[in-house]
């Protein structure tokens, strides 16, 4: 029996006619489906597989973003220090980045638990490293701002 099978439901308390989709009587607020099979049906725990997949995918995407960002930052560093080393760096890093990126993005959704484990491992390492670098930069900026505030407050400028 589904709720749509019933055109109307009469409240057991006050007899008022209710919409079958209502959970409580619109007149007296009495729950209409208490102890009913319909309530039980709503309490079945949803399958957590799709959610897990989504978390894995978001994790993988972030790892991929950090990976690309890291590669670009290192490339800029090489360009400033030693422009000649940029080409060999790209020859080595580009396939490596693409390979790890594909492994992370595909592996997180793979049916193979080993591949998924390795992909999650890579993602965790890259996301942790990226988060640590971002945290370091944020701390540095906060420290510099704090120093300027202290200098300004003591009349240093
Ligand atoms: Zn009622």
pLDDT tens digits for range 95-129: 888 888 888 778 777 788 888 888 888 888 888 88
Percent of the chain with pLDDT over 70: 82
Residue 90: predicted pLDDT: 86
Buried b (16+ CB within 10 A) or exposed e, 139-150: eeeeeeeeeeee
What are 36-70's pLDDT values in tens digits? 545 444 444 555 556 666 777 787 888 888 888 88
pTM for this model (two decimals): 0.51
> What is the span of the domain harbouring residue 26?
1-44
Asked if 2 and 30 sit in the same domain, the reply is yes
The residue ranking higher by pLDDT, 103 or 80, is 80
Residue labelled with tokens 């589904």 = 2
Contact 122, 63 (CB under 8 A): yes
Q: Do 72 and 146 share a domain, yes or no? A: yes
Ion ligand 1 neighbours, Cβ < 5 Å: 11, 13-14, 16, 25, 27-28, 30
Centre of ligand 1 to C-alpha 1, Å, is: 22
Return the higher-pLDDT residue of 46 and 13. 13
pLDDT value of residue 140 = 95
86 and 142 in a single domain? The answer is yes
| Number of domains making up the chain | 2
What confidence score (pLDDT) does residue 41 get?
Answer: 43
Report the pLDDT averaged over residues 76-82: 89
Q: Are residues 116 and 63 in the same domain?
A: yes
**Residues 62 and 33 both lie in one domain:** no
Of the two residues 34 and 31, the one the predictor is more confident about is 31
Distance 104 CA to ligand 1 centre (A): 55
Alpha carbon distance 60, 120 (integer Å): 8
pLDDT category at 5 given cuts 50, 70, 90 is: low
Q: Which two tokens stand for residue 107?
A: 């592996």
Q: Do 89 and 69 lie in a common domain?
A: yes
How many angstroms separate the alpha carbon of residue 44 from the centre of ligand 1? 27
């Amino acid at each position: 029996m589904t709720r749509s099978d019933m055109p109307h439901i009469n409240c057991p308390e006050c007899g008022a006619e209710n919409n079958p989709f209502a959970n409580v009587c619109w007149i007296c607020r009495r729950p209409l489906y208490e102890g009913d099979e319909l309530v039980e049906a709503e309490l079945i725990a949803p399958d957590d597989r799709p959610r897990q997949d989504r978390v894995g995918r978001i994790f993988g995407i972030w790892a991929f973003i950090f990976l690309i960002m890291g590669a670009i930052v290192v490339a800029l560093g090489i360009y400033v220090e030693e422009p000649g080393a940029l080409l060999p760096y790209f020859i080595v890093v580009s396939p490596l980045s693409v390979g790890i990126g594909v492994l992370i993005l595909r592996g997180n959704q793979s049916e193979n638990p080993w591949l998924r484990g390795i992909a999650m491992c890579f993602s965790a390492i890259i996301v942790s490293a990226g988060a640590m670098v971002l945290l370091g930069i944020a701390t540095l900026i906060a420290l510099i701002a704090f120093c300027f505030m202290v200098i300004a407050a003591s009349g240093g400028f």
